[in-house]
Amino acid sequence: MIERIYLLENVDPLMFYGVNNTHLQLIKNLFPKLRIVARGNVMKVIGEEEESELFLKRIREIEKYCESYNNVTEDVIIDIVKGEPVPMEKPVDIIIYGMNGKPIMARSENQKKLVKSFDEHDLVFAVGPAGTGKTFVAIALAVRALKNRQARRLILSRPAVEAGEKLGFLPGEMKDKLDPYLQPLYDALQEMIPAAKLKEYIENSTIQIAPLAFMRGRTLNDAVIILDEAQNTTTHQIKMFLTRLGTNAKMIVTGDTTQIDLPPTSKSGLVQAMEILEHVPEIGRVKFGKKDIVRHRLVQRIVEAYEKRIEN
């Protein structure tokens, strides 16, 4: 009899073990000759060496499936333990699988262009109106790069610019004041990464979510870096951000030039950067339009109504 330890490193143990440990109980039933104990991300197995080795091999395969699809079913567990082939290839348009195995894919032509541009360029500008999914797709691409070991960390940033509200009057310490500006980034990540794993990533700085001012002086290597709401950057801020790009790194800059919250005397750094860098061939550019809006159908109507009002 030997004792072996296995660490679940890439998946949320709660998802792996199932609701009320149903998946864990199934695994125990499929390996009746072994004594299996699980606590947190640690699994301990006691039994004969050959049976224990088979158990560890199958657990690795189940974990790999979980990591790829963000979900696992009892049927899949049974097939893997029995050695039956389980499809692991993703359909072409699927970027990653989100929570509960929900496929996250490019849903419009320009979203597909953003995916292609990210694969081909180290710096991509994605500009367009609200609801086109540019930020969500950008974050999905960043999470995919992290899962595929193409990047060691994700860095997500936004300028902390008031949209009709004053930062100083918000309650709490500085982190409490800034978190509302960064919440949309947390929201997107929570749809793609299990809560326990996301918390771990944030605590060990694999994922960093910070206001734009925190980027100064850094060189960002081996990372995917996203700047959201870039229309609210100044000329100096966006230049500072773009020059943080380090080796083996990719950067996506998103924004909506119709929603600039800067003072009237300030020119948007995003608008200026796109003009200055217009003829740099190594930079990808994707321009979203109202036809790309994938939120509630009313969002497209709202955008169209405001456009007509401005034209008149």
| pLDDT recorded at residue 178 | 63
Largest CA-CA distance found in the chain, in angstroms, rounded: 82
Which pLDDT belongs to residue 217?
86
Residue 38 DSSP SS3 = strand
pLDDT recorded at residue 310:
63
pTM for the whole thing? Answer: 0.82
User: Would you write out the chain's pLDDT as a tens digit for each of its 312 residues?
Assistant: 899 999 998 888 988 999 999 999 999 999 999 999 999 999 999 999 999 999 999 999 999 999 889 889 999 999 999 998 887 766 778 999 998 889 999 989 999 999 999 999 999 999 998 889 999 999 999 999 999 999 999 999 988 764 444 444 444 554 565 677 788 889 999 999 988 889 889 999 999 988 888 888 888 999 999 999 999 999 999 999 999 999 999 999 999 998 888 888 888 999 999 999 999 989 999 999 888 887 666 766 776 777 776 665
Rounded CA-CA distance 210/13 in Å is 28
Strand, helix or coil for residue 199: helix
* pLDDT for the residue numbered 176: 60
Contact 290, 303 (CB under 8 A): yes
126 burial type by CB count under 10 A (0-12 exposed, 13-18 middle, 19+ buried): buried
